[in-house]
Each structure stands twice: as C-alpha cells, then as structure tokens.
Amino acid sequence: MPELYAAPPDRAAWQVPAYARPLWLGRQRDHCVVVPVIDEGPRLASLLRRIATLDVARCADLIVVDGGSRDGSTEPTALAAAGVRGLLVKTGPGRLSAQLRCGYAFALDQGYRGLVTIDGNDKDDPDAIPAFVAALESGVDFVQGSRFVPGGIAVNTPRVRTLAIRALHAPLLSLASGQRWTDTTQGYRAYSARLLLDPRVAPFRDEFVTYELLAYLSYRAPRLGYRCLELPTARRYPAGEVPTKIAGVRGNLALLAILLRACLGGYDPSAVRA
C-alpha cells in the first residue's frame, strides 16, 4: 500500500521518546488502533480476543505500545498470533503521554490517515472501534468515547470518579474549549492525521509525559475549529477492583493541575514559546 503522507516539514523537530520495534508486519489499512499497555497481563489478552472476535482487522490495523511491561504479556510472537501487527516498546522516559507520542508518531510515519486509542486494561468495549473509524472516514477529526451519552454504558464506575468527571473535568473542558464534552478522562478516542500533524497542535513535545495529552487535545482541537464529537461506548470496571494507574491524593491533584493548565491554554504551542 503506498504511503498517504509525505514527511511533514517539521518531522525532525518532533520530540518522541526512544522506542524499540520488536514486531512490525506492515500497514494493511488506512487506520490503526493504538493500545497503550503496561503489565496488563490477562486483561490485555482478553481485549485482544474481543477485538479479534469483532474482526476489527477489516477496518484497522492493531498496534500495541508497551510502556515497559515485565509480566510477559507483550511477547511478540503471542501478540502476532492474536492479530497484532505492530509492537512498540518505549525505552525512553515518561508514562502514558510518552507512550502515546510513540504510537502517534509511528502511525503517522507509516502513513495512517487516522488512529483509534483504547486502553489495554479491558475496561472499554471494543465494539465501538468500527464506528470510530467510520467517523474519521466521514471527516471527523476527534472522536471521544463516552459512557455518559445516550447509548453509553457505565458499570461499577467509582462514585468519586463519576462525580469528578461530570461535575469538574468535563464541564471545565467544555467551557474552555467551546465543545460540549461529557467523558473527558478516558483514553478511548480517535484522531485524524491532519489534527495530529497540525503545527498549531504540536503533540510531539517532551512536556507531554503523563496525562497531559488527553486534556490538552480535548481543549485544543475544538478551539482550532476541528470537527469533534462523542460516540457512546461501554466502560466496565470489575466489581471490587479499579484497574487504573492513577491513585492517591497526589495523583488526583496532579490531574487537576493538568486540567487547569490545559483549560488556560498553558500547553498551546504559542504559550510554550512565550
């Protein structure tokens, strides 16, 4: 399949964490699904089985971005057998946003027209992936999955988390961005290549290390006039367990600081240069 994009003029200036590529079987589709993981064990295996059952490969290639798993869940041969076409292993510093920068950069370098991201902890139902891809193909630039719109499903979501999203995180980002959002903390999303390649967005910066990219893109994309929408998704937490990398007072205060900075334009490229 021929490349769809030439390297952008600023490609050499992108700040992308170092990563290895132990598995790459080549691009087959115009879109891909990027799955960030770290030590997800059987949860990742379950997600990949569900994706295979849905035959997502008809519309998108599957790429796993490993943040440094030590549980053996990202063994390349096993992933290939499960339908994964690419495995990136981040070796540079950073957490989720660093993994995402690896995945975004790789997808753009391979000529994908857009990408879907879904967490590897098996909380999200992958049955919405084809609808996300269809939205990208129709000209939408940013799709946010939401359990809080009609048709969405929320199971066992911690009450404190629901309150924080619905009373604080989503309202603030809605007000600041001019786009009505209902479920802004989750990473079940889709982006067009043109959005990620826009120098006014500039997602390839080393300041995006933890969860900054999620809040920033929810703010920045609508402000620049890109087509954005929410689609219903299902997010199910297992009873008695909250599989998340965010915990404790310090972690939640850090998320609040990120949210406030994003809403005030503090991650905009012009603000950083200033």
274 residues of the chain, pLDDT tens digit each: 445 556 898 999 999 999 999 999 999 999 999 999 999 999 999 999 999 999 999 999 999 999 999 999 999 999 999 999 999 999 999 999 999 999 999 999 999 999 999 999 999 999 999 999 999 999 999 999 999 999 999 999 999 999 999 999 999 999 999 999 999 999 999 999 999 999 999 999 999 999 999 999 999 999 999 999 999 999 999 987 655 555 567 878 999 999 999 999 999 998 765 5
The strand pairing partners of 21, in sequence order, are none
Decide if 3 is inside a domain: no
Amino acid residing at 22: P
Which tokens in the block code for residue 270?
């012009």
Residue 158: CATH number of its domain: 3.90.550.10
Residue 56 covered by a domain: yes
User: Could you tell me the CA-to-CA distances from 186 to 162, 218, 229, 252 in Å, in that order?
Assistant: 12, 11, 14, 14
Q: Could you tell me if residue 151 is inside a domain?
A: yes
- Whether 9 is covered by a domain: the verdict is no
**Closest to 243 measured CA to CA, from 161, 144, 138:** 161
Q: For residue 247, what are the contacts with CB-CB under 8 A and spacing of at least 6?
A: none
User: Considering the domain boundaries, does residue 144 fall inside one?
Assistant: yes
* Within a domain: 117: yes
Contact 235, 229 (CB under 8 A): no
Q: What domain range includes position 220? A: 16-273
The count of domains in the chain is 1
The helix/strand/coil state of 65 is: strand
Is 5 within a domain?
A: no
CA 22/CA 8 separation, integer angstroms = 26
**pTM (2 decimals)?**
0.94
In a domain, residue 42? The reply is yes
